[in-house]
Chain A
Amino acid sequence: MTRFVLGRIGFCTLIAVLLAFFTIPLLWLVTAPFTSDPSYEVKVPDFTWDNFQAVVEHPYALPSLYNSLVLSVGTAVLVVLLAALAAYALSRVRLPGRDALLYALLLLSSIITGTAAMVPLFQLAVELNLIDSHLGLILILTGGLLPAAIFMLKDFMDSTPKSYEESARVFGASPLQIVRHVVVPLVRPGLATIGVWALANVWGNFLMPYLLLSDVEKQPAAVITYTLYTEGGQANLSMLSTFGLLYSIPVVLMYLFVSKKYGFRFHGGIKR
Chain B
Amino acid sequence: MGSLLQVRGLRTEFGSDAGSAVAVDEVSFDLDRGETICLVGESGSGKSVTALSIMGLLPRNGRVTDGEIRFDDVSLLDLSEPEMRENRGNSLAMIFQEPMTSLNPVLTIGDQLTEGMLLHLGLSRQDAAKRAVELLELVGVPRAEQIVRDYPHRLSGGMRQRVMIAMALSCSPALLVADEPTTALDVTIQAQILALMKRLAAASQTATILITHDLGVVAEMADKVAVMYAGQVVEEADVFELFDHPRHPYTVGLMKSIPHLGADDDARLESIPGSVPALANMPSGCRFQDRCPSVMDRCRAERPDLLETSTTGKHLVRCFLYSGEQAAVRDETTTAVAS
User: Are A and B part of the same complex?
Assistant: no
* Partner-B contacts on A (CB < 8 A): none
